[in-house]
Amino acid sequence: MALKGTDYFKFTPRTNCKACGKPTCLAFCMDVAAGKLEIAKCPHIKPEDLEKLSEASAPPMKTIKAGAGKAEFTLGGETVLFRHEKTFVSKSLYGVNVTGDTIDKMLPEIKKIDYVRIGERMFVEVLNIEFTGDKGKFLDAVKKANGAERLLILSVTDPAAAKEALDICKANKPILNGADESNCEAMNKLATEAGVTLGVRAKNLDALYDTVAKLEAGGNKNLVLDVGCGSVKEAFANAVQIRRAALKDQDRTFGYPSIVNVGKLSKGNHELEVALASIFTVKYGSIIILDSMDYAKALPLYGLRQNIFTDPQKPMKVEPGVYQLNGADTNALCLTTVDFALTYFIVAGEIERSGVPVNLIITDAGGYSVLTAWAAGKMTAGSIAKYVKENCGDKCKNQTLVLPGKVSVLKGELEESLPGWKIIIGTNEAVGIVKFLKDFKN
Ligand code: SF4
C-alpha cells in the first residue's frame, strides 16, 4: 500500500528547516509521496524509520542491473503504465536465441547490426543461450558467447548444467533464467552464490507469483520474470498483468522486469516476430528475445524503441561537434545549424545528397529548431562564435561559414565576433541546400 504525504510527515521533526530543499516538512513529504524526492533527503529522520520508509517509498518496480563492462544494462525501475503519464525509465533490450548448434552462425550475424541513431548505439544487446539437452554443446555456446560483450541469459532449468555455465561466465553477470516451482531452491542458491540475477518462470501467473514470493522470502530480490511462451495471448496477458499488479496495485511481488521470447511465440514467422517484438516494446518487455536480427527487423524495432523510451518533454538532440560529411577534410566549406535532431538529419541528408564535402558545425542550441533557438537566445552570434573558436581551430582551415538563411540577421555580429571568417547566408529551407552547394563558388 503506497504511503501518503501525511504518513511520511509523522516521521519528520516538523521544524521546516529547509535542509531538504523544500520550504516545509509537509511540502517535502508530499513530493516524497509523489515519487519526486527520496525520503533520505531529510537528514533528521531517525535511521530505523528511514530504513522502513525507504522501502515503502522505493519505486514499486525494482531496478535490476545485469551484465558487466560494456554489456552492463539497467532493467525495470518503471513508475508508470503509460508513456504519456511520465517517461519510461529503462529501454527494452533486444536479444537473439542461440544454441550450441547456432552460435557459430549467429555471432557474426548479430555483429552486422551496429549503428548509431540520434546518439544512441543500436545493436543486439542480449544473447539468450538455450540448453537443449546436450550439456557439452550448451557449455561450448556459453564459452563462445562469453567474449561477445553482450548480456548473456543462461536459459537452463538443470542446476548441474547451470552451475557449470555460471563457472564459465559469472564474471560477466549473466541472467540465470531457469528457476521454477520444481528447482527454485537449487537455482536460487546458484544465482545467489554467483551474484547474478535469477530469471523465474512458471506454468501460470499464480505459480509464478508463489515462486517469486518463495524466492523473496529466501532473501533474493534480484529477479526477472519470464512471461512464458505458451501462446501469444497468454504471454501478452501475463506481461500486462504483471506490470499492472506492480504499478497499479503496488504489489511488489510482481515488481520486477520481464523477459519475453517472441522468437518462440512466433514459431519461425518473421513478420509475426517483428510485430510481437513491437507490441512487447510498448507493453512491457524489459528483455525481448528474437530468433534472429537483421536490418529489416532492426530498423523499425530500434526506431520504435527510441521513440518510446525518450522523454517526450525533452527535444531529441544530437551532440554538438564538427560532422565531416561527404569525406570533408579541414579545407571543406563549413555550414552550421542547430542540434535539434530532426533539423540535423534533414540538413545532413541534403548535404549528403549534394555530394559536396562539408564540415557541418553543430552548436548547443538547446535542442530547438533554428528559429525557436534564435528566438530563445540559444542560437546567437556569440554562441556560434564561441563554439567555433573553442572547437574548430584545427578542424576547419577553410574559414567560410554558411549560416541558415532564417538567421541571416546574425551575419554582421558574427563577422565581428569571428575575425578572418567569411560569413555567407545560406538557404531558408533545407530543400535548397543541394542546389546551393553545387552552385557555390568558394
Ligand atoms: S529537512 Fe526534514 S526537517 Fe527540514 S524541512 Fe525538510 S523535511 Fe522538514
Q: Provide the number of structural domains found in the chain.
A: 3
Whether residue 234 sits in one domain with residue 138: yes
Range 133-162 average pLDDT: 96
Question: Is residue 23 scored above 60 in pLDDT?
Answer: yes
Whether residue 330 sits in one domain with residue 284: no
Q: CB of 23 closer than 6 A to ligand 1?
A: no
* pLDDT score, position 2: 66
Question: Is residue 368 scored above 80 in pLDDT?
Answer: yes
Whether residue 273 sits in one domain with residue 176: yes
Range in 232-246, 249-263, 301-315 the model is least confident about: 301-315
* pLDDT score, position 212: 97
Q: CB of 32 closer than 6 A to ligand 1?
A: no
Note down the domain range covering 125. Answer: 63-308
Mean of per-residue pLDDT scores for the chain:
93
* pLDDT score, position 216: 95
Range 50-55 average pLDDT: 82
CA of 19 to the centre of ligand 1 (A): 6
Q: Does residue 408 lie in a domain region? A: yes
CA of 44 to the centre of ligand 1 (A): 7
What CATH number did the domain enclosing 351 receive? Answer: 3.40.50.11600
For residue 1, name the pLDDT band (cuts at 50, 70, 90): low
Q: Does residue 315 lie in a domain region? A: no
* pLDDT score, position 32: 86
Whether residue 12 sits in one domain with residue 160: no
Ligand 1, atom 2: nearest CA belongs to which residue? 42
CA of 22 to the centre of ligand 1 (A): 7
Question: Is residue 119 scored above 90 in pLDDT?
Answer: no
Q: CB of 88 closer than 6 A to ligand 1?
A: no
Handedness of CA 113, 281, 121, 174 (dihedral sign): negative
Encode pLDDT of 234-245 as tens digits.
Answer: 999 999 999 999
CA distances from 415 to 125, 388, 408, 422, 437 (A): 48, 12, 12, 7, 21
CA of 18 to the centre of ligand 1 (A): 5
Whether residue 390 sits in one domain with residue 293: no
Whether residue 233 sits in one domain with residue 335: no
Mutate to test the pocket of ligand 1, among 7, 10, 11, 17 (most ligand atoms within 8 A of CB): 17
Range 386-405 average pLDDT: 93
- How far is the C-alpha of 127 from the C-alpha of 339, rounded, in Å? 34
Range 273-280 average pLDDT: 97
Q: Which atom of ligand 1 is nearest to the CA of 13?
A: 3
Range 37-53 average pLDDT: 88
CB count within 10 Å of CB 125 equals 20
CA of 63 to the centre of ligand 1 (A): 27
Encode pLDDT of 165-223 as tens digits.
Answer: 999 999 999 999 999 999 999 999 999 999 999 999 999 999 999 999 999 999 999 99
Whether residue 274 sits in one domain with residue 129: yes
Range 78-94 average pLDDT: 91
Range 345-361 average pLDDT: 95
Q: Does residue 314 lie in a domain region? A: no
For residue 140, name the pLDDT band (cuts at 50, 70, 90): very high
Whether residue 102 sits in one domain with residue 72: yes
Q: CB of 258 closer than 6 A to ligand 1?
A: no
Range 345-349 average pLDDT: 94
Encode pLDDT of 376-388 as tens digits.
Answer: 999 999 999 999 9
Question: How would you label 19-58 residue by residue, b for 16+ Cβ within 10 Å and e otherwise?
Answer: ebebebbbbbbbbbbeeebebeebeebeeeebeebeebbb
Whether residue 125 sits in one domain with residue 246: yes
Q: CB of 22 closer than 6 A to ligand 1?
A: yes
- Total length of the chain: 442
What CATH number did the domain enclosing 151 receive? Answer: 3.20.20.20
Whether residue 385 sits in one domain with residue 434: yes
